[in-house]
Structure 1
Amino acid sequence: MRSVALLLVVAFAVTAEPLRVVATTGVLADLARQVGGERVVVSVLLPAGGDVHIFQPTPDDAHRLGEAAILVENGLGLEGWIDGLVAASGFAGRRVIAARGVETIAMACGHDHHDHGHDHAPDPHAWQDARNVMRYVDNLAEGFTAADPAGAARYAALAALYRAQLRALDA
């Protein structure tokens, strides 16, 4: 009886539908595919060549997001339109903030009077540092595992492989 139960668990794990993931940008979509492997189907909101800072989501984008299990967003204020899209879509899945916990630098604001007593916003383009991308990878693996606990070992293995590749680039 125990081996029958084990076979059922293995069969379910193999035939389970992949998680539907919507990423805000192509960079995040690529990272999601690297970490999720065959357990995710990823679509991207921002069209190739689009500008995330001025992107205007369509009703089709809202519909696609509404059907997703996971939304992968950068955070750090990059997607100023995302909360409106989430509300319009009825999205009820898990939001993964890829840049959560990264080390940021202040954004250059086009002036050089640095004694003026205020802080500059963090640069939201944190993926430009391989060490930060490693944190993105960890955040994705954590988010995917929370939504799909049966895939935890696979997400951890793919994340470890990708972190090793990033370390080689950063050497």
Structure 2
Amino acid sequence: MLALAAALAGCAGGATDGPAEDDRPVVLTTFTVLADIAQNVAGEHLRVESLTKAGAEIHGYEPTPGDVRRAADADLILDNGLGLEAWFVQFVESVDVPHVVVSGGVDPIDISGDAYEGLPNPHAWMSPVNAAIYIDNIVAAFAELDPDNADDYAANGEAYASEVQAVYDDLLAELDAVPEAQRVLVTCEGAFSYLARDAGLDEAYIWPVNAEQQATPQRIAAVIERVDADGIPSVFCESTVSDRPMQQVVEATGAAFGGTLYVDSLSEPDGPVPTYLDLLRHDADLIAAGLQGESG
């Protein structure tokens, strides 16, 4: 982090990575999901960028000197908070730029188990209900940054929140057909607590937060036992980690591998989830199909 601060001192005043002719205020987010939500609120008035690229693992990200330069040149930084970006506190202290925690006001769900017990689960954006809070916080942040366009940000936020609500309604309708005994979402990481709460699902996972080294034989065995006991038809894993531990569950139980869910990152533009709304739809479709025994 000292090296990053030194890099900042040497690069202060440098240009951002965006087009030279684009003089709109720059909003820098910590990961791609936030960037897409923010862009829908910003419309044409702001240039929104993600610090991390599509497919990046956000929990243990290590900022580079180039990241510090981009942050120093931004007009506003948005981060998720709730302990997601463990690296972010020192990083943002290295730059004199306003920043807003977009999860402010969310009712957190605590992690259960291990050294993380009692800490907030950071994946609050996976709840379409919480997404409305994120959108409101971003609308307020943009109105403060650019008061002349505050009405546009409010209108954009309202329209986008309606789209998110429509996805949520579709999710509930899809999952309504899942038998009660099979309403258990089994994933590699416990990243779906908020979505599970919204959808009336129980959850089971191999590790509570994104740390593959926690895929111990004991954890895998516990998930195998749960899948067998409840007759869960399908299990899942996330795009930013290896699915090898979950494939052991598949082999031991005969459950289907329901597919790859997206949480911490969008895909590339030509991939399955180039936007946040696509991410929600993709995950909802896979979960609903898998829990109804339609996977594999």
TM-score by length of 2: 0.48
Counterpart for residue 126 of structure 2: 128
Q: Which amino acid aligns with 2:49?
A: S
44-53 or 157-166, larger mean C-alpha shift: 44-53
Distance 2:118 2:47 in 1: 37
Q: How many residues align?
A: 148
SS of the equivalent of 2:47 reads: strand
Counterpart for residue 43 of structure 1: 49
Distance 2:52 2:168 in 1: 28
Counterpart for residue 149 of structure 2: 151
Distance 2:168 2:61 in 1: 31
Q: Which amino acid aligns with 1:142?
A: A
Identity of aligned residues (%): 35
Distance 1:82 1:75 in 2: 9
SS of the equivalent of 2:62 reads: coil
Distance 2:101 2:53 in 1: 20
Q: Which amino acid aligns with 1:95?
A: H
Q: Deviations over 1:36-78 (max 9, x none)?
A: 0111111111222111111000000000000111101001111
Q: Which amino acid aligns with 1:91?
A: D
> Pairwise CA RMSD of aligned residues?
1.9
Give the gaps of 5 or more residues in structure 2: 1-21, 170-296
Task: Tell which has more relative contact order, 1 or 2 (C-alpha 8 A, sep 6+).
Answer: 1
Counterpart for residue 111 of structure 2: 107
1:62 to 46, 58, 68: 68
Q: CA deviation at 1:91?
A: 2.8
1:91 aligns with 2:96: yes
Counterpart for residue 79 of structure 1: 85
Distance 1:19 1:145 in 2: 12
Q: Is the 8 A contact 1:72 1:98 kept in 2?
A: yes
Distance 1:85 1:62 in 2: 7
Q: Deviations over 1:88-126 (max 9, x none)?
A: 2x232x211110001221123259xxxxxxx61111000
Cα distance change, pair 36–147 in 1 and its aligned pair in 2 (3 A): same
Cα distance change, pair 17–153 in 1 and its aligned pair in 2 (3 A): farther
Structure ID, larger Rg: 2
SS of the equivalent of 2:44 reads: helix
Structure 1 segments, 4+ long, off by >2 Å, are 108-111
Distance 2:167 2:108 in 1: 20
TM-score by length of 1: 0.81
Q: Which amino acid aligns with 2:27?
A: V
Distance 1:105 1:145 in 2: 29
SS of the equivalent of 1:38 reads: coil
Q: Which amino acid aligns with 1:99?
A: S
Counterpart for residue 28 of structure 2: 22
Give the gaps of 5 or more residues in structure 1: 1-15, 112-118
SS of the equivalent of 1:51 reads: coil
Q: CA deviation at 1:80?
A: 1.1
1:137 aligns with 2:143: no
